[in-house]
Structure 1
Amino acid sequence: MAPNGVSDRSARLPRLIMIRILLLVAMQATLFPGTAFAQLAWDTFSPAQQTYPTATVTIDENMAATTTVLTITTTGATGTVTYSIASSTTAAFTIGASTGVITVNDASLLDREAISFIDLVLQAVDTSPATVSTTVRIDLKDVNEIAPTFSSTSTYSVTISESATVGTTIQALTVTDTDSAATNVACTISSGDPDGKFQFRSDNQTIELKAAIEPDSPTNNSLTYTLTIVCYDNFNGVYSGGSLASTGTVSVSVTPVNDNSPTWGTFTPALATPITTIDENLASGTIFTAAASDVDYGTDGVVTFSFSTVKFNTGADASALFTIGSSSGVVSRTAATTPALDRETYSHVEFVVLAMDSPTVTADRLTITQTVQVNLKDVNEFTPVFDPSTGLYNVSFSE
């Protein structure tokens, strides 16, 4: 028994407890290095919709630098906790050593078109020192940041014939969008097609002829179309709202075709048969005026006149006596005196008038003809004369 009246066993008890505690601490340090009685553990993440042991966070690509992505905390720590990113697939993020706040370090590395996610191995160490680690996967959400791009040029030029049929391919475009969520591109004609001659096929990138081009029409006599093309991306299946667009131009030149012959108009004077009458021996003046028109576009619709033949009723050539205005169609008497325009010799003159259009290619010319009969009206041009063959006339009368 001890001098103070306490048994030796009772006196040794606190010392034994202390020794056991020290042994337990030593054993824990040996068997579980880096841990403490107050076990260091992950507490909460903010935002809180995380799962453990691997947390998943979704952020927009190209999030601005210094933007907070995630805040992590621990529980059961001994002393001060230091946070770090032990490893990462990219240097896009940094973490506050004392705060556990993960922020964007380099926004240029957050490119959804290059990578879809980033894994961070996070580590927390207290002063015991105890260490805990976890992995956070940061998914990158695609943002519609890239407008559709024309493959080589946004300006196209094409030439088609006026005779092109409906459905003819005008221009095939190649327009793409590199945004991951942009699954397609749709193009429309926003201007330059007032008559609705063109349209996009179902592939949304090929322009075709929707209606026949007829530049000869008075209401649509254009040989050029400048189509403004707007191409929208289909972001997440939607062509509106957040869609981005690019603009291109397709210039269409139409080559006219001489596909209409001239048609006769009303002659002057009006020829019902057509027959008209002039005095014989007419020395000058207008006989009649031919009229014709052509609805073809440009020079294809310019009509010129000429004589195919000019003959008397006997078949004799009379072309030297008349002229016709190439553009006016005016038929006139010339100054020629032979052969004579003599009713005593000929009853009429027959004109075969030719009307011809004027395409660039001579072989494409179209012509029409009209026969006009001009009767010669007898003029009292002679005085009576005695027949000299009788020589002498005898006249008798009664007194």
Structure 2
Amino acid sequence: MESPLLIVSLIFLCFFPSALSSSVVTHLPGFRGPLPFYLETGYVEVDEEHGGQLFYYFIESENKPAEDPLLVWLTGGPMCSAFSGLAFEVGPLQFVSVEYNGSLPSLVYRPYSWTKVANMIFLDSPSGSGFSYSTKEEENDSSWFQQVYKFLIQWLVEHPLFISNPLYIAGGSYAGKIVPMVAKRILDGIGEGKEPLLNLQGYVIGNPFTGGRVDENSKIPYAHSMGIISDDFFEMIQKSCSGQDYRTPTDSQCQMYLNSFNNLFLSEINEGHILEAYCPEYRLNHLHSLASATSSKRILKENQNILRPPPFPDLSCRCYAHTLAYYWANNNFVRKALNVRKGTIKEWLRCNRQFPYSKEPKSNIKYHLSLLQRGYRALVYSGDHDLFVPFSGQNNG
């Protein structure tokens, strides 16, 4: 008698021909010894017209891969690489933050990774972010969630053992706007009967954007509640901006106060964590200063993808590791180990800020409502010291 899993796998293969290429990675440059977890990298085609390929990092659960949930992790921005989630947030790797000297940055194992209890796909999405690529010259919210949906279906074609695992879509910051849109698309596909059932259980979002006015308009009340602005200044803003959207004020005095808030107060605050030191970035052109050393010349030759090196913050800043990631990911040995296709990405950027992106639709509230009304689980967590996306705005969303 045929097993249910085999039948489901055959149905998947009939519905969706393979569009995936993948490789198992056992060693990474900068990490001492073999990786203590299963890592697979690869590409999935999601846009045939524009040759759109999404790059992913798949890490099996270190607990019970056959039973543990499957999480698809999206990184915000938009246009930021999911490597941020892997190396700076919830994954099993982290950089050793020491002053960059021209050599390859070092990685170590993080023991508090979510991969201790879950299978995780860190997905560079949409195309144009991380190592994902396409000939398309613009992306938006709608194309992003559609690409993730297509990716997931195609990925499961090649990984049928995970079809029955509990499935969660996860992400943070701006990706928090996209996550419920992906989950809703999965439900729509199931309802249309166009593909086999996926075991969607819910979604997970951290410090999430919702879109609309709630995210931006919560910043000033939050700043006041945390003592960043005075009672008098807060009252002046409330009085002059009463009933107005802070993103598009119509009153000149309101605009003046908002400019003061943005230019004076926020210029001295670490918006990502208001209790940490403000970290202005300054450029240390290490590559030029090291060019006279023979060993450094060899290192420079290997780093053939360095085009626009980012500025270095102070070493005490947590974002120092972001710059280390730039030099690591643009090293040719690293790209070879990750099986990145040659000639596809000239320069890896943690966040591709120059890529055109339109934020439509304006709000994702209806997607949240649709999922919650159907009884799907949602975990929404938020740091209480985040000024980018204040938790008070999420409470009122």
Q: What's the TM-score, normalizing by structure 1? A: 0.18
Q: Could you say which structure has the larger radius of gyration?
A: 1
Higher relative contact order (CA 8 A, sep 6+): 2
Task: Tell me which protein shows more strand as a share of its residues.
Answer: 1
Task: Tell me which protein shows more helix as a share of its residues.
Answer: 2
